[in-house]
A and B are shown apart, each in its own frame.
Chain A
Amino acid sequence: MALRFEARGAASRAMVLGSPAIAVVLTLAASLAMFASLGTDPVRALQAFFIQPLSSERGVAELMVKATPLILIALGLSMGFRANVWNIGAEGQLTLGALAGGGLALALYGHESPLLLPLMFVAGIAGGMAWAAIPAFLKTRFNTNEILTSLMLVYVAILLLSYLIHGPWRDPDGFNFPESRLFHDSARMPVLLQGTRLHIGWPIALAIAATAWILLARHIVGFQIRVVGLAPAAASFAGFSRTRIIWTTLLAGGGAAGLAGVMEVAGPIGQIVPVVSPGYGFTAIIVTFLGRLHPVGVVFAGLLMALTYLGGEYAQITMNLPNAVTGVFQGMLLFFLLASDVLIRYRIRFVP
């Protein structure tokens, strides 16, 4: 008996949704084998990974805190990816958002005003957009590959952060350590649930996901984005401006990443530090694909990805499993997802 791949006439809608589920099941199965080979009880390990982090109110709140930036960035990226605009530089746009919003907090240090936080959000979004505007300009004007330009700007952004934090924005009472002062209360995100770190960023991210869903499904811009991505020739015959779509999607991606950045510094971190993001801009790319470029999918994918981080920490604390297990987990998830995606366009036939 042999297996054969047969091309489907049309992409399978069932498999678009089914493939992440298959990937999760395969990841679980493979991780059982991995834990067994490490000599740990696989059931206990999976429990530490997926159940323990969610067994308390604090744990659930932490999951949402961790997922918020991932979801926000992935929402922005999914717009671009649908239109074949490959913004790989969300990490840099996040950093600029953190700098613009956080810089405002430092400039207005000590000013108590309910307007400060919304202004910081605006500054953060603007900062992220400004950074994304560079690849947008280069692509629309010179047809430069945005994958390259957006990625390289990540390193520029991180160096800019490093310069500011080692120099002008350094905490004056901080023994010259590279950190800003702690933001004052008006510049901090209100906490939703007392005793946890759950802040208003979570409902904001959900609201943006809902907005993005409506935009993509019902609004002409959403339609144009999809057409430009699926059939560029048809889009140009229909008179859709490719330039406009490139600008729109890059600015949306940059703005969302910038907002995520300012929410991190105004939320859980509370100051500007040398490493604002542990790679959220890159992890969000996995989240985007895991979520099928769909706003609702992205929310669930973001939560799942956040859970692998929390679970990895629990596995270290309670099982003494190495940190690399988390990375292996995430790698397997993406690997199996990409592998399962072949089922969208092909079906498996058993050939006797």
Chain B
Amino acid sequence: MNTVHRAMAACLLAAGLLAGPAQAEPLKVGFVYVGPIGDHGWTYQHDQGRLAVEEAFGDQVETSYVENVPEGADADRVIAQLAETGHGLIFTTSFGYMNPTIRVAEMYPDVHFEHATGYKQADNVATYSARFYEGRHVAGLVAGSVTESNVIGYIASFPIPEVVRGINAAFLAARSVNPDVSFKIVWVSTWFDPGKEGDAAKALIDQGADVIMQHTDSPAALQVAQDRGVWAVGQASDMTAFGPDAHLVSVVNNWAAYYVRRVQAALDGSWGTSDTWGGFGADMLLLSAYNKAIPADVIEMADAARAAIAEGSLHPFTGPINDQDGNLLVADGEVADDGMLLGMSVYVEGIEATLPQ
């Protein structure tokens, strides 16, 4: 992963150096984090992106960050403080910062803002997110192939489209390689709570699951899987170290390429508002190394799917897809459009669970 970062950074840096002379004043780039940086997970990956920016641009930039910023009244203040202290480009890296970012951006029209995972743009506010469901498709293929009990446990956070989309993508992929597979889903109502996530993993294993997938941030489920001798899929960061035997593969969020690209644009004056939703093809998602215990043909199939998604010849939501009530979601041969994906709030046919409302 790191070599990918560096390669990307080096290319873009070279492009930047050719484009024009170095600026006299370094560009100050600010980051607002929802959690502590730690050593894995959502915020850690954003901070890896920040470090890649520093590495790529050296003296041309100065970066700073504020961690653990609550998604309420405090967000406006922190974002404004960054603008006030001379930051020219500010990344706000959680959904709850959407309205605060828009509000602050109105007061600082000369500052560029980038908001992750939201849907509101402005002249000086761009949005970006990753097509995490592409990673969940590949993880679902692997999970569906290695399960022996045909029960896959899924630890879900909140019933928002992002999470529902992930469950559906993983389920459709697992079913495509294993028609007998079923999903058991536990909602823990948190993004990060090792205790709850670990308990959820135990409950799922007790109900027969031999692969655990998660849409939460801690490695607790992976550690439980390691203890109980079942498989698990890592989330956001490469989680191999937390359960080397249990760990199938991790879908790794990679913001480095995007951040380097956007900082470059801000440096050479070409920054404009945009709405980016990239996946494997844009290097916004990466895969960790696979567990060596996975059969070679499964890895081959998963890698082929990854490559096909990256080049655009495979879409994880290709019809026919029905919802649980039998309503057609995606027609035969069609692929889901982004609007439908962004608002997805029903389970696909075959998932035997009720979506909490």
Which B residues are CB-close (under 8 A) to A275?
70-72, 96
Shortest Cβ distance from residue B38 to the other chain A in the assembled complex, whole angstroms: 11
Partner of B30, one of A56, A277, A317: A317
> Could you tell me if A167 and B81 are in contact, using CB atoms closer than 8 angstroms?
no
Shortest Cβ distance from residue B336 to the other chain A in the assembled complex, whole angstroms: 15
Partner of B82, one of A268, A269, A317, A323: A317
- Whole-angstrom CA separation of A132 from B8 in the bound complex: 57
Shortest Cβ distance from residue A38 to the other chain B in the assembled complex, whole angstroms: 16
Which B residues are CB-close (under 8 A) to A271?
99
> Could you tell me if A182 and B99 are in contact, using CB atoms closer than 8 angstroms?
yes
Mask of B37-78 contacts with A, CB within 8 angstroms, 1/0: 000000000000000000000000000111111111110111
> Could you tell me if A175 and B342 are in contact, using CB atoms closer than 8 angstroms?
yes
Is the CB of A162 closer than 8 A to any CB of chain B?
Answer: yes
Partner of B161, one of A62, A176, A318: A176
Q: How large is the interface on A (under 10, 10 to 19, 20 to 34, 35 or more residues)?
A: 35 or more
> Could you tell me if A313 and B343 are in contact, using CB atoms closer than 8 angstroms?
no
Which B residues are CB-close (under 8 A) to A273?
71-72, 96
Partner of A197, one of B36, B71, B76: B76
> Could you tell me if B76 and A317 are in contact, using CB atoms closer than 8 angstroms?
no
- Whole-angstrom CA separation of A278 from B75 in the bound complex: 11
Is the CB of B290 closer than 8 A to any CB of chain A?
Answer: no
- Whole-angstrom CA separation of A264 from B75 in the bound complex: 13
- Whole-angstrom CA separation of A324 from B71 in the bound complex: 18
Whether A320 touches B64, Cβ cut-off 8 Å, given contacts A166-B158, A314-B81, is yes
- Whole-angstrom CA separation of A178 from B160 in the bound complex: 7
> Could you tell me if A276 and B158 are in contact, using CB atoms closer than 8 angstroms?
no
> Could you tell me if A268 and B76 are in contact, using CB atoms closer than 8 angstroms?
yes
Which B residues are CB-close (under 8 A) to A177?
95, 160-161
Which B residues are CB-close (under 8 A) to A345?
none
> Could you tell me if A264 and B72 are in contact, using CB atoms closer than 8 angstroms?
yes
> Could you tell me if A316 and B158 are in contact, using CB atoms closer than 8 angstroms?
no
**B69 nearest in chain A by CB position:** A313
Is the CB of A267 closer than 8 A to any CB of chain B?
Answer: yes
Shortest Cβ distance from residue B338 to the other chain A in the assembled complex, whole angstroms: 11
Which A residues are CB-close (under 8 A) to B161?
175-177
**A316 nearest in chain B by CB position:** B66
Partner of B99, one of A264, A270, A310: A270
Is the CB of B357 closer than 8 A to any CB of chain A?
Answer: yes
Is the CB of B354 closer than 8 A to any CB of chain A?
Answer: no
**B158 nearest in chain A by CB position:** A178
> Could you tell me if A278 and B81 are in contact, using CB atoms closer than 8 angstroms?
no
Shortest Cβ distance from residue A259 to the other chain B in the assembled complex, whole angstroms: 15
Is the CB of B199 closer than 8 A to any CB of chain A?
Answer: no
> Could you tell me if B66 and A162 are in contact, using CB atoms closer than 8 angstroms?
no
Partner of B85, one of A162, A269, A317, A324: A317
Mark out the residues of chain A between 43 and 66 whose CB falls within 8 Å of any chain B CB in the assembled complex. Answer: 56, 58, 62, 65-66
Which B residues are CB-close (under 8 A) to A278?
70, 72, 74
Which A residues are CB-close (under 8 A) to B343?
175-176
- Whole-angstrom CA separation of A166 from B157 in the bound complex: 12
> Could you tell me if A317 and B64 are in contact, using CB atoms closer than 8 angstroms?
yes
Which A residues are CB-close (under 8 A) to B70?
275, 278
Mark out the residues of chain B between 212 and 251 whose CB falls within 8 Å of any chain A CB in the assembled complex. Answer: none
Q: How large is the interface on B (under 10, 10 to 19, 20 to 34, 35 or more residues)?
A: 35 or more
> Could you tell me if B158 and A269 are in contact, using CB atoms closer than 8 angstroms?
no
Which A residues are CB-close (under 8 A) to B76?
197, 268
> Could you tell me if B66 and A274 are in contact, using CB atoms closer than 8 angstroms?
no
Is the CB of B268 closer than 8 A to any CB of chain A?
Answer: no
Shortest Cβ distance from residue B149 to the other chain A in the assembled complex, whole angstroms: 31
Shortest Cβ distance from residue A173 to the other chain B in the assembled complex, whole angstroms: 9
Which A residues are CB-close (under 8 A) to B99?
179, 182, 270-271
Counting chain A CB atoms within 10 Å of each CB, the highest count among B72, B85, B342 belongs to B72
Mask of A58-84 contacts with B, CB within 8 angstroms, 1/0: 100010011000000000000000000
> Could you tell me if B77 and A317 are in contact, using CB atoms closer than 8 angstroms?
no
> Could you tell me if A276 and B64 are in contact, using CB atoms closer than 8 angstroms?
no
Which B residues are CB-close (under 8 A) to A179?
96, 99
Is the CB of A202 closer than 8 A to any CB of chain B?
Answer: no
Is the CB of A309 closer than 8 A to any CB of chain B?
Answer: yes
**A174 nearest in chain B by CB position:** B119
- Whole-angstrom CA separation of A323 from B64 in the bound complex: 12
Partner of B96, one of A182, A274, A323: A274
Whether A309 touches B74, Cβ cut-off 8 Å, given contacts A316-B64, A316-B65, is yes
- Whole-angstrom CA separation of A276 from B96 in the bound complex: 11
> Could you tell me if A310 and B73 are in contact, using CB atoms closer than 8 angstroms?
no
- Whole-angstrom CA separation of A175 from B119 in the bound complex: 8
Shortest Cβ distance from residue A171 to the other chain B in the assembled complex, whole angstroms: 10
**A168 nearest in chain B by CB position:** B357
- Whole-angstrom CA separation of A277 from B73 in the bound complex: 8
**A167 nearest in chain B by CB position:** B357
- Whole-angstrom CA separation of A317 from B161 in the bound complex: 33
> Could you tell me if B65 and A62 are in contact, using CB atoms closer than 8 angstroms?
no
Shortest Cβ distance from residue A94 to the other chain B in the assembled complex, whole angstroms: 12
**B65 nearest in chain A by CB position:** A316
> Could you tell me if B158 and A313 are in contact, using CB atoms closer than 8 angstroms?
no
Is the CB of B350 closer than 8 A to any CB of chain A?
Answer: no
Which A residues are CB-close (under 8 A) to B81?
313-314, 317
- Whole-angstrom CA separation of A322 from B356 in the bound complex: 38
> Could you tell me if B96 and A264 are in contact, using CB atoms closer than 8 angstroms?
no
Partner of A276, one of B67, B69, B72: B72
Is the CB of B121 closer than 8 A to any CB of chain A?
Answer: no
Residues on A facing B (Cβ under 8 Å)? 56, 58, 62, 65-66, 162, 166-167, 175-179, 182, 195, 197, 264, 267-271, 273-278, 309-310, 313-314, 316-318, 320, 322-324
**A–B pairs, 23, beta carbons within 8 Å:** A66-B74, A166-B159, A166-B356, A167-B357, A176-B343, A176-B345, A177-B161, A178-B160, A179-B96, A197-B76, A197-B77, A264-B73, A268-B72, A270-B99, A273-B72, A278-B72, A310-B77, A317-B30, A317-B81, A317-B82, A318-B64, A318-B85, A323-B66
By Cβ-Cβ distance, the 5 closest A-B pairs, closest first, are: A278-B70, A268-B73, A323-B67, A323-B68, A316-B66
Other A-B contacts than A66-B73, A175-B342, 12 sampled, CB-CB below 8 A, are A56-B84, A66-B77, A166-B158, A166-B159, A166-B356, A175-B343, A274-B71, A275-B72, A276-B72, A313-B78, A316-B65, A323-B66
